[in-house]
Chains A and B, each alone.
Chain A
Amino acid sequence: MSARRTKFYLDKSNRKWSGVCAGLADYTGIDVTLIRVGVVLLTFMTSGWGILAYFVTAWLANDRPREFDYASIEDEKFWQTVRARPGASVRDVRSKFRDIDRRIADIETHVTTTNSALAKEIDALR
Chain B
Amino acid sequence: MEDTLVPIFVVGILFLGLPWLIFHYVTQWKKNGGLTVEDEKLLDELHDMARRLDDRLGTLERIITADDPNWRPRQAADRSHDMDWRRDA
Contacts and interface: CB of A to CB of B under 8 A. Distances in A.
Interface SS of chain A: helix
B73 A109 contact: yes
Contact of B82 (A85, A97, A99): A99
A114 B68 CA distance: 10
A2 interface: yes
A82 B47 CA distance: 11
Contacts, number: 66
Nearest to B39: A86
A55 to B, nearest CB: 25
29 contacts: A1-B37, A4-B37, A4-B40, A6-B40, A74-B89, A77-B89, A78-B47, A86-B33, A86-B34, A86-B35, A86-B39, A86-B43, A89-B47, A93-B46, A93-B47, A93-B50, A96-B50, A97-B46, A97-B53, A99-B54, A102-B82, A106-B72, A106-B74, A107-B57, A107-B60, A109-B73, A110-B68, A110-B71, A110-B72
Interface of A: 1-2, 4-6, 74, 77-78, 82, 85-86, 89-90, 92-93, 95-97, 99-100, 102-104, 106-107, 109-110, 114
